[in-house]
Amino acid sequence: MPWLIHCDGSALPNPGRMGLSAVWTAPDGTPPPLSQVAPGYGCNNEAEVRALIAALQALKLQGADGLRVHCDNSVVVEQVGSSTAKPIVGLAALFDEARVLLDSFADARLVWIPGHRNGEADALARAALGILEPRAVKVNKKRR
């Protein structure tokens, strides 16, 4: 049974300080969270890929081998998951590091999910930066 991971990153302002988070469920049902501030300053995409790297490093130490990683940042999923994606020069080394780590697991898959399905990881990334209030989500209503 694979480990289920949700990761997220936040930059405040964008670019600015970076908060990283990951929430995972081990095959035995244990859900330890990761919530930390990254050193330095960066943009939202950097925070997102750094969160993925931190989660993968932590899971490697725990002996995980099968992973399903959920991320709500399409840039990260495209850059890490596709060898044909046009590289983002300033972040290429981080995307390469994430790709190598992901490939080091026996069975690992990175999947994009919509932001509303990543609420716990988003809240932890923002909490690492001292933001405790929930993020407002704009809902588009269809006109009749």
pLDDT digits (tens, 9 = 90+) for 28-46: 877 678 999 999 999 999 9
Separation between Cα atoms, residue 134 and residue 32, nearest integer Å: 21
Task: Tell me the CATH number of domain 3-128, given options 1.10.3720.10, 3.40.50.11690, 3.40.50.2000, 3.30.420.10.
Answer: 3.30.420.10
Domain boundaries, the chain: 3-128
Separation between Cα atoms, residue 2 and residue 143, nearest integer Å: 42
For residue 67, list its beta bridge partners.
3, 108
pLDDT of 26: 83
Token duo for residue 113:
């999910």
Does residue 67 or residue 133 have the better pLDDT?
Answer: 67
Cβ-contact 117, 70 below 8 angstroms: yes
pLDDT at 143 over 70: no
Does residue 47 or residue 137 have the better pLDDT?
Answer: 47
Token duo for residue 83:
């060898």
Residue 66 is which amino acid?
G
Among the listed residues 41, 39, 47, the one whose alpha carbon sits nearest the alpha carbon of residue 22: 47
Cβ-contact 35, 124 below 8 angstroms: yes
Does residue 134 or residue 7 have the better pLDDT?
Answer: 7
pLDDT digits (tens, 9 = 90+) for 90-134: 999 999 999 999 999 999 999 999 999 999 999 999 999 998 766
Enter the DSSP assignment of 85. Answer: S
